[in-house]
Amino acid sequence: MNETTTQTAPNADLFSSEFLMGNVGAPFVIGAAVGYFAKKMLKVAIFIGGALIVLMFIGEYYGMFDVSDAVLQSAADTAVKSAKASGDFLMNRLTRITSKGVSAVGGFAVGFKFG
């Protein structure tokens, strides 16, 4: 008897639910959750920062202290730089979830949009 065997590639179906959930679905959900949380926290930080600035303006109006425009702009620049660094950190971390990182970063963008 002469039998020939053919070898097939091990489960190379790119549209199987197992492949999609592991490489697209779960990283997308993780990215969406992180993006949603990041936007909510950004809104809270901006709200608190705005309230502090208004309180400083009120204190200046009543002569309690003087608010320098240069110092206020410097503080705002520092806050923007730290927010950008935090965003860069999140994006770099999300790109390591899958080999391409596209699904997690796409999920982040969607979550940030809905947040």
Residue 39 neighbours by CB under 8 Å, 6+ apart:
111, 112, 114, 115
State residue 18's pLDDT score. 62
- Domains of the chain: total: 1
The domain of 105 spans 25-114
State residue 24's pLDDT score. 67
Average of per-residue pLDDT across 12-24: 57
**pTM exceeding the 0.75 threshold for the entire prediction:** no
35, part of any domain: yes
Q: What percent of the chain has pLDDT over 70?
A: 76
Estimate the share of the chain in helix, then strand, then coil, as percent rounded to the nearest 5. 75, 0, 25
State residue 62's pLDDT score. 93
64, part of any domain: yes
- Reported as a single tens digit per residue, the pLDDT across 74-104 is 999 999 999 899 888 888 888 887 666 678 8
